[in-house]
Structure 1
Amino acid sequence: MTKKNLKIIFAGTPDFAAAALQAIIDAGHQVCAVYCQPDRPSGRGKKLIAGPVKNLALEHNIPVEQPQNFKSESDLAKLASYQADLMVVVAYGLLLPKAVLNIPRYGCVNIHGSLLPRWRGAAPIQRAIEAGDSQSGITIMQMDEGLDTGNMLLKVPCGIEVSETGSSLHDKLATLGGLAITHYLAEFDPQASGEKQDDALANYASKLSKQEASIDWNQPALAIERKVRAFNAWPVCYTAVDGNRIRVWEVEVSNEKASERPGTVTGYSKKGIEVVCGDQTVILLTKIQPDGGKAMDAAALLNSKSQWFEGKPVLTSA
């Protein structure tokens, strides 16, 4: 069997998945259908907006299916009607039941944004940065009924830079995911069973929430710095000064120590706003965003709001 006669169903929704679909299309593989989440309301008018994968599929005249789930027999029958050899899944947004996994001739494979078994779950990219990992990567995995528990078919590592953000690592891994899946498909061996995961080494990357983006100034400076990078560009860390909420996009850990309570603003300058962390290390807020405003360097905010930071105020959760 060559890559030209492998019939592939692709399942994914956001831009991370669109990068993989584009790579598969560019490599000349036959995509017989694309599955993605139903269109979601967005903006003030709550207009239904198609996701990146759907838009890309329509550009290439690939049939698009958007079932709410696969509980109905008609949805399963539609999937089976494409008579696919393989289903490639990445950031689809649905946990696929066994009935779906068994429909394609050679089952379903997943493109996962970590080196499994580390960081199974919804947010492996951000959790790796938050934890201070030095390495991430892509795992092509044979899907089973568990959550990212299937046999590993291909692993491609990717370093995490000291300045890495959730956004920058997302983009790197999106590109790497496309390269990895096209390499896997080019060398496709239906007899390959892959490597079993060691469950003892597994950990879980829970879904991100806006609530946990609130900065806890009792944490050490390095932990706060990693979280700010991990949550850039979503959900973006935040704090408040005298009731004014501020989103924190970038920070810098200084070599200075201070004796004030965590969260205290000890000073400010064009370099940033100095805040004491739980280990008494001072961190600089260098790029911030007031409610209703744009993200800006600290110096720009201080031009109009320096009074917020006078008198050593204590930053709080918003």
Structure 2
Amino acid sequence: MNLRVVFMGTPDFAVPSLSELIANGYDVVRVYTQPPRPAGRGKSLTKSPVHQFAEIMGIPVETPEKFRKSRVIDGLAALDADVACVVAYGQILPQRALDAPRLGCLNLHGSLLPRWRGAAPVQRAIMAGDAQTGVQIMQMAAGLDTGDVLLSETVPIADNDTAATLSERLSRIGAGMWPRALAALDRGGLTPTPQSGEPTYAHKIDKSEARIDWTRPARDLDCHIRGLAPFPGAWCEIGGQRVKIHMAKPEDGQGGAGTALDDKGLIACGQGALRLITVQPAGKGKMSFDDYAKGRPLPAGKKLL
């Protein structure tokens, strides 16, 4: 059976899933995504990555500001879809919307539920120092990421993974899961597995979290930095200038927290030290620490705030 599919998603993370559904011949009858938002230095209204891709593929797009409005849900029901595939859409769907497609709504989530329910599972997994995460397709239910798991893949987190690299890997793996999930759904072959264990919540990243606290252990700060790369970017002050740290490496070393231990970017932490590798001064692009130090030397004994 050629399932009639509604797709709901917004960021780059969701685009491979939509592409995979189209490539496998599913009839994607409508795409729902967040409305255009101000972006860039000019703050011009910009369509979401999913919106842009759907238009290229000739698929009609809806951008409701709030999905709870009756006319929006009526429009979804009128599509007579078999299933809705949801990937990082960015809105909570009310029960009436969940019930509109014949086979309900399935959601692709970037963690091993119930760990890291919520908005920022990839970032939080890295920031917490998790050794592994995963990607799962679940049957959507009322509540935040509470539904039964239908399909799951476990993914190791590498020591040099950032939120960007891990997100890209999870998005590709997750996209490849959709054809298997929908084929099994169509023949009634999916086995729902209730989530088990104590939930943790991946709250949305707040910019106030981004400032580096050099009194923390180096290994914790390494995870913190990688989890916030590239956005919003962990930062500190060097000589009164805000500098984002995109990549650093834990090393041996001791001294006053936040103090440079040499002139090559080794900074003392509460325990151990961090070697700065990739930085971004305010108003500039990313660069190696060596290139940064050519214009702004960071001698031993200099204090970072």
Equivalent residue number for residue 160 of structure 2: 163
The answer (yes or no) to whether the contact 2:259–2:300 under 8 Å persists in 1 is no
Residue in structure 2 matching 1:212, options 209, 218, 225: 209
Report the Cα offset of residue 81 of structure 1: 0.9
Residue in structure 2 matching 1:298, options 274, 278, 289: 289
CA RMSD in angstroms, aligned pairs only: 1.4
Distance 1:311 1:110 in 2: 51
Kindly provide the amino acid, as one letter, of the partner of residue 235 in structure 1: P
Higher alpha-carbon deviation: 206-215 or 188-197:
188-197
Equivalent residue number for residue 109 of structure 1: 106
Identity of aligned residues (%): 38
The answer (yes or no) to whether the contact 1:151–1:193 under 8 Å persists in 2 is no
The answer (yes or no) to whether the contact 2:184–2:190 under 8 Å persists in 1 is no
Residue 233 (structure 2) pairs with residue 241 (structure 1): no
Residue in structure 1 matching 2:301, options 275, 292, 312: 312
Q: Deviations over 1:24-52 (max 9, x none)?
A: 10011111111000111222332211111
Equivalent pairs, count: 304
The answer (yes or no) to whether the contact 1:152–1:196 under 8 Å persists in 2 is yes
Distance 1:75 1:9 in 2: 13
Residue 66 (structure 2) pairs with residue 69 (structure 1): yes
Distance 1:175 1:311 in 2: 43
Residue 243 (structure 2) pairs with residue 250 (structure 1): no
Task: Trace 1:152-231 onto structure 2 (pairs within 5 A).
Answer: 152-188=149-185, 189-190=187-188, 192=190, 194-198=192-196, 200-231=197-228
The answer (yes or no) to whether the contact 2:5–2:83 under 8 Å persists in 1 is yes
Equivalent residue number for residue 145 of structure 1: 142
Report the Cα offset of residue 192 of structure 1: 4.0
Higher alpha-carbon deviation: 170-179 or 56-65:
56-65
Residue 269 (structure 2) pairs with residue 277 (structure 1): yes
Residue in structure 2 matching 1:17, options 14, 17, 29: 14
Q: Deviations over 1:280-318 (max 9, x none)?
A: x12111211111222111111111111xx33612211xx
Distance 1:39 1:289 in 2: 28
Residue in structure 1 matching 2:261, options 259, 263, 266: 266
Distance 1:291 1:96 in 2: 39
Equivalent residue number for residue 277 of structure 2: 286
Distance 1:113 1:311 in 2: 41
In structure 1, runs of 5+ residues without a counterpart are: none
Equivalent residue number for residue 91 of structure 2: 94
Q: Normalised by the size of structure 2, how large is the TM-score?
A: 0.96
Higher alpha-carbon deviation: 60-69 or 215-224:
60-69
In structure 2, runs of 5+ residues without a counterpart are: none
Distance 1:235 1:63 in 2: 32
Q: Normalised by the size of structure 1, how large is the TM-score?
A: 0.92
The answer (yes or no) to whether the contact 1:42–1:49 under 8 Å persists in 2 is yes
